[in-house]
Structure 1
Amino acid sequence: MNKRVKDKRIIATAFAIILSWPVSVFPLQQPESQSQSQSASSRELPHGDGWRLVRSIQLGNSKNYIHMVLIDGKRDMDKAVYGAALSKICRSEPDFCRVRFWNEERHVANSISFTDAQFKALRAEYIFNRAGHVQQMKYACTVVSDKNQCFSH
């Protein structure tokens, strides 16, 4: 089986897992997203050389979060910056970690879903789900040109 077919199967499996979650995990309205979102005012958010965590949004009532990270626009082609962010953010999450990266703060999503403009500005996304046997890092094709490691808008 070639790598491209295997990657497509992994992506399809990840989407199937996500789609199989009960609707209650993803509330349609998120009026309390301010309380669910970890904000800079409540505590210092992780950051490092070339990146900083903007917010973490809880997935429904689970203990899982999607972390929204801002990458320095001058460093967004440097895979080491993404790796450093993942190491720091995901180290305390042994079973599930999802991180989305942008290089412009105005595009960083405020909720688990995002607009077309926010998707087009997305630079990378990492997902790790131990239960679903998923671990994947994908970059925008403008960051990494390898079709096995990138997504296009």
Structure 2
Amino acid sequence: MRFVSMRIISVAVITTFVFSWPVFAASQQPGPPQSQQPSASQSSDMHGDGWQLVRSLELGNSGNYIHFVLIDSKRDMDTAVYGAALSKICRSASDFCRVRFWNEKRLVPDTVSFTPAQFKGLRAEYVFNRAGGVQEMRYACTVLPDKNQCFSH
């Protein structure tokens, strides 16, 4: 029984480290000022190995953005790809960052809300809101079948 308890604690510590690393790394890197966020009509050249930022849309006039990312469909089960995208996209976000991920470009929404088909294609979502005390990364259960970290369509 002691072995099982220690294993659970070890898995919890490792999981916490893995999911907090992209945000920690992002907070340690200087980035462009928030005022240089892309507008709703611009697509960004921001990309990395296995991912590409398709668009960033402002939430009303808040200065906060939701970033829509396309993940390579061949790599969408690799959580490191999501972490790499978060590290780059959220590096200058000290108070708010929201990123949503899809693996099919045709499903990436043009607005902050999305259709049931677009929700069904959603592969992961990251939310960081310092004011609300929220920092959460959740995956579709088909990507990461851990009921504590996944959502089902």
Which TM-score bucket, shorter chain as reference? 0.7 to 0.9
Structure 1 contact 39–45 (Cα < 8 Å) conserved: no
Name the CA distance, whole Å, in 1 between partners of 2:151 and 2:97.
Answer: 19
Alignment of 1:68-87 (within 5 A): 68-87=68-87
Which whole-Å CA distance do the structure 1 matches of 2:126 and 2:76 have between them? 15
**1:45 Cα deviation (Å)?**
2.5
In 2: Cα distance, 1:51 partner to 1:38 partner: 20
Report the Cα offset of residue 38 of structure 1: 4.7
Show the counterpart of 1:56. Answer: 56
When residues 38 and 46 of structure 1 are mapped into structure 2, their CA distance, relative to the original with a 3 A threshold, is farther
User: Aligned-residue CA RMSD in angstroms?
Assistant: 1.2
Unaligned regions of 5+ residues in structure 1, if any? Answer: 1-34
Aligned to 1:4: none
Output the CA distance in 2 between the equivalents of 1:116 and 1:133.
28
User: Residues 139 and 151 of structure 1 are in contact (CA less than 8 Å); yes or no, is this contact kept in structure 2?
Assistant: yes
- 1:1-153 equivalences in 2 (<5 Å): 36-40=39-43, 44-153=44-153
Cα distance in 1 for residues equivalent to 2:41 and 2:64: 12
Runs of 4+ in 1 over 3 A off after TM superposition: none
Q: Structure 2 stretches of 5 or more lacking a match?
A: 1-37
Provide the aligned length of Structure 1 versus Structure 2.
Answer: 116
In the alignment, what sits opposite 1:12? none
Q: What is the TM-score normalised by the length of structure 2? A: 0.74
- TM-score under structure 1 normalisation? 0.74
